[in-house]
Amino acid sequence: MTNDSLRHAMADARFTEKDLAERCKVDVKTVSRWLTDEGRMPHPRHRWAASEALKVDESVLWPDAIRNTVKTGPDREVLTVYPYRSACPKSVWRSLITNATSTIVLAGYTNYFLWLEHPNFATVLKRKAEQGCRIRFLVGDPDSEVTRRREQVEAVPLTVSTRIRITLAELDPLKNLSGIEARFGDEHIALSVFQFDDEMLVTPHLANLVGHDSPMLHLKRRQDDGLYDRFAYHANELWQHGRDIWNNEPTTT
């Protein structure tokens, strides 16, 4: 498999293979091998040099390097952590969305930032669904009491209900596509779960802070009943009790 995280980080930094090779003091062919073989692990000094040059954490570019040398037990499912969701490189999101083949679950209360930060997001989702990927959106009800209370807590100009309605408007053209579903659910107001096959981004919302100011965990499934499975259970339970946003009726599946 290719190292898409490294490739996207280089694109974001506008680095060619030659540029990165010069910064890491290696041959261009070596950088090419880093890109085409995700399992190839550069020497630590080269990983540090690449991380510094691209301004991306080493654990994002080569998560196995950290996990294999430091982590044991259940915490090996934690690839990296971010004190703020906004600190997670866009390349991570892009890679997760691009590489997902079977399941994408977007259980953020508004999911507003996805449309803002990912150009042509609806087109990407349409293409993923056509390729057989199951896509689920779980968003808050803009007219619920839970949403109203959260708006009072956050007290920001772009209200929670407004952000939800932007997502609903973006989703509307996708409502008749096979493989894309969307439901209302208010129980995830304080915890967002974004699932991409066997990887996941989880954001617990702090006090009165909006999502991008709250911390985030990047998880990868490594065991039964680990962190990944626990958060996947949470998202699935909320989905089971959600209401179809297009029919506005309770669902049982």
Q: What is the mean pLDDT for each group of 10 consecutive residues in the chain (253 residues)?
A: 86 94 93 81 87 86 66 77 90 90 96 92 95 97 95 92 96 94 92 96 89 91 92 95 79 45
Instruction: Write down the pLDDT at residue 252.
Output: 42
pTM of the predicted model as reported, rounded to 2 decimal places:
0.73
Q: For residue range 20-40, what is the model confidence (pLDDT) as tens digits?
A: 999 999 999 999 999 987 567
Contacts of 160 (CB under 8 A, 6+ apart): 109, 110, 140, 142, 147, 150, 151, 154
For domain 1-70, is the CATH number 3.40.190.80? no
Q: Which has the closest alpha carbon to 97: 68, 82, 119?
A: 119
Closest C-alpha to 172, from 137, 145, 148? 137
What is the model's pLDDT at position 108?
95
The DSSP string of the chain is ---HHHHHHHHHHT--HHHHHHHHTS-HHHHHHHHH-TT----HHHHHHHHHHHT--HHHH-HHHHHHHT--GGGGGEEEEESSGGGS-HHHHHHHHHH-SSEEEEE-SS-HHHHHHSTTHHHHHHHHHHTT-EEEEEE--TTSHHHHHHHHHH--SS-HHHHHHHHHHHHGGGTTSTTEEEEE-STTTTEEEEEETTEEEEEEPPTT--GGGS-EEEEE--STTSHHHHHHHHHHHHHHT-EETTT--B---
Supply angle C-alpha 196, 56, 32, rounded to 5. 85
pLDDT single digits (tens) 132-182: 999 999 999 999 999 999 999 989 999 999 999 999 999 999 998 999 999
Residues 6+ apart with CB under 8 A from 181: 134, 135, 136, 137, 244
Tell me, rounded to whole angstroms, the distance of Cα 209 from its chain centroid. Answer: 19
What CATH architecture is 74-253? 2-Layer Sandwich (3.30)
Closest CA to 249 of 97, 141, 177: 141
Nearest to 109 by CA among 170, 160, 168: 160
Output the pLDDT for position 249: 47
Give the pLDDT confidence score for residue 251 in this predicted structure: 46
How high is the pLDDT of residue 253? 46
In the chain, domain spans:
1-70, 74-253
> How far is the first Cα of the chain from the last one, in angstroms, to the nearest whole number?
35
pLDDT attached to residue 159: 95
pLDDT at 36: 87
Nearest alpha carbon to residue 54 among 119, 7, 102 = 7
Which residues are CB-contacts of 92 (< 8 A; sequence separation ≥ 6)?
5, 60, 201, 218
Residue 250: the pLDDT is 45
